[in-house]
DNA sequence: ATCGGAATAAGGGAAAACCCTTGCATTAAA
DNA sequence: TTTAATGCAAGGGTTTTCCCTTATTCCGAT
């Protein structure tokens, strides 16, 4: 299986496209058989000839890469489409995956990565730039420093105890029994918590705690 | 910069360790200069000689890889530690990152990946197995199909209306005013919701809704 | 046409939550 | 040592929620 990989480039920036053609041509395993400046143009040219692998930009005029990918795969399910974008956020990643792309390489990656991505998808695997994946994971991590917030709001240890129990869905009575204090005391702590978090009832207090990662759910 | 990379292996399964030594030795750029069966043993041997790169298992007797990594880097900050584990979940990933590991390769990966990881960390980069990262991202995606669940629980449209308002932190009274119905009706819907979701109060109902993605927060 | 079931709406009374206030102990400042 | 501040605990009274029951409408089935 050492035949030449036929590649299509869909990218609106002419200079970038030319650079891409140049660096990929250096590899004798690749042959660029098609170029398009937007999704619509790509779909038209796709009727004439089908590449093995398509390098697809996302942001393009007339028709973007997300639509183009979905439509192209509808007609030619065997196509391997690698997203080539500068966006490394989850939204773009998700949309391209949903459209059927089997790879995602960032524009600021080296040629090596792109080359590897092409080889991987030809083999039937998927390839996603490490940088992209790590970026997504990092962004998904808890943004606010919860311990920090607890200090800022001046929530005491005992109040945190009560808060944890509230966020388990326990009633004041149940919490009182668990902590060996009266219901009234639980209510007292809860009132303080609602004051400090500027919430008005049980639910909004729990929502605040979840949103600000004061508790785990 | 073409000198031989000195490698340490910390892994409690002897067979796996031997296999690892064998496949890595095939590469003349690598030299295995140390092996240890657990974190404690590794730290002791580390006093005698320091590898460039350490392949570190997580689950080990006496001292696990998380502790060992943190302690080793405390004393030898220049060490490059690559986690070598079968666990591809976020928890293990996070703990090893926090301990200071600069790479993570799954045990069921090929030698190529491990080799690349070693080269990358030697260059000062980090390396994380694509499989691991994708697994983390996939697991973080909303698991249950919420629309499905709504149908399963036979939650009516009106009940969903009420649920949405409850999950905004509104009181029954406020919801009643918004929906132009009496408080009693709101309570009725809420009771039905609690029955269907098997929850016992406002908070547990909200928690259930969040966990099962019935609502957005 | 009528019957049964489900969704919607609402009432009464009991239980729980909420709000305000007080007492007490510990700690820090005057 | 007194004073002030803070966290914890709890009571009284009002409001809200919870639970059980009932009425009405709509709709599909007999």
Which residues of A are less than 8 Å from B207 in CB distance?
167, 169, 206, 217
**Arithmetic mean of pLDDT, A17-44:** 91
Most confident of A51-65, A163-177, A191-205: A51-65
pLDDT in tens, chain B (217 residues): 467 899 999 999 888 889 889 989 888 889 999 999 999 999 999 999 999 999 999 988 889 999 999 999 999 999 999 999 888 887 788 888 889 999 999 988 888 889 989 999 999 988 988 888 888 777 655 444 566 666 777 888 888 888 888 888 888 888 888 888 888 888 888 888 888 888 888 888 888 888 877 777 6
User: In degrees rounded to 5, what are phi and psi of residue B50?
Assistant: -115, 120
Query: Over pLDDT 70: what percentage of chain A?
Result: 93
User: Element (H or E) spanning B31, and its range?
Assistant: strand B30-36
**Cβ contact B53:B84 at 8 Å:** no
Q: What pLDDT is stored for residue B142 in this prediction?
A: 46
How far: A110 CA to D15 C1' (Å)? 66
> CB-based burial of residue B86 (10 Å sphere; 0-12 exposed, 13-18 middle, 19+ buried)?
exposed
Distances (CA, A) of B126 to B1, B115, B119: 18, 13, 10
Q: What is the pTM of this model?
A: 0.59
User: In degrees rounded to 5, what are phi and psi of residue A28?
Assistant: -75, -5
Q: What pLDDT is stored for residue A142 in this prediction?
A: 46
Determine whether the distance from the CB of B204 to the nearest atom of strand D is below 7 Å.
no
A129 CB-side CA count, 13 A: 26
> How big is the CA angle at B66 (ends B61 and B67), to the nearest 5 degrees?
75
More confident residue, A135 or A66: A66
Which residues of A are less than 8 Å from B166 in CB distance?
203
Both structure tokens of A200: 């008005």
Q: What pLDDT is stored for residue A195 in this prediction?
A: 85
**B103-157 pLDDT, tens per residue?**
999 988 888 889 989 999 999 988 988 888 888 777 655 444 566 666 777 888 8
Residues 6+ apart with CB under 8 A from B58: B64, B65, B66, B83, B85, B87, B92, B95, B96
User: Does A105 reach chain B within 8 Å, measured CB to CB?
Assistant: no
Protein residues with Cβ atoms closer than 7 angstroms to any atom of nucleic acid strand C: A 171-173, 183-184, 187-188, 190-191, 194, 200-202; B 154, 156-159, 179, 181-182, 184-185, 187-189, 192, 201
Which residues of B are less than 8 Å from A166 in CB distance?
203
Both structure tokens of B86: 């079968």
């Amino acid at each position: 299986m050492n035949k030449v990989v036929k590649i299509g480039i869909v990218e609106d920036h002419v200079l970038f496209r030319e650079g891409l053609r140049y660096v990929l041509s250096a590899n004798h395993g690749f042959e660029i058989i098609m170029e398009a400046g937007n999704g619509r143009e790509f779909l038209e040219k796709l009727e004439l000839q089908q590449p093995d692998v398509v390098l697809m930009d996302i942001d393009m005029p007339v028709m973007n890469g997300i639509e183009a990918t979905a439509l192209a795969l509808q007609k030619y399910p065997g196509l391997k489409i690698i997203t080539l974008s500068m966006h490394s956020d989850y939204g773009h990643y998700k949309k391209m995956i949903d459209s059927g792309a089997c790879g995602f390489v960032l524009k600021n990656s080296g040629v090596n990565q792109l080359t590897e991505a092409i080889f991987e998808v030809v083999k039937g695997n998927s390839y996603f730039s490490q940088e992209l994946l790590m970026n997504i994971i990092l962004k998904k991590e808890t943004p606010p420093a919860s311990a920090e917030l607890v200090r800022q709001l001046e929530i005491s240890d005992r109040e945190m105890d009560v808060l944890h129990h509230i966020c388990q869905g326990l009633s004041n009575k149940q919490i009182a029994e668990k902590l060996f204090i009266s219901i009234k005391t639980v209510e007292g702590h809860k009132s303080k918590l609602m004051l400090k978090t500027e919430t008005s009832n049980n639910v909004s207090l729990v929502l605040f705690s979840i949103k600000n990662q004061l508790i785990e759910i």
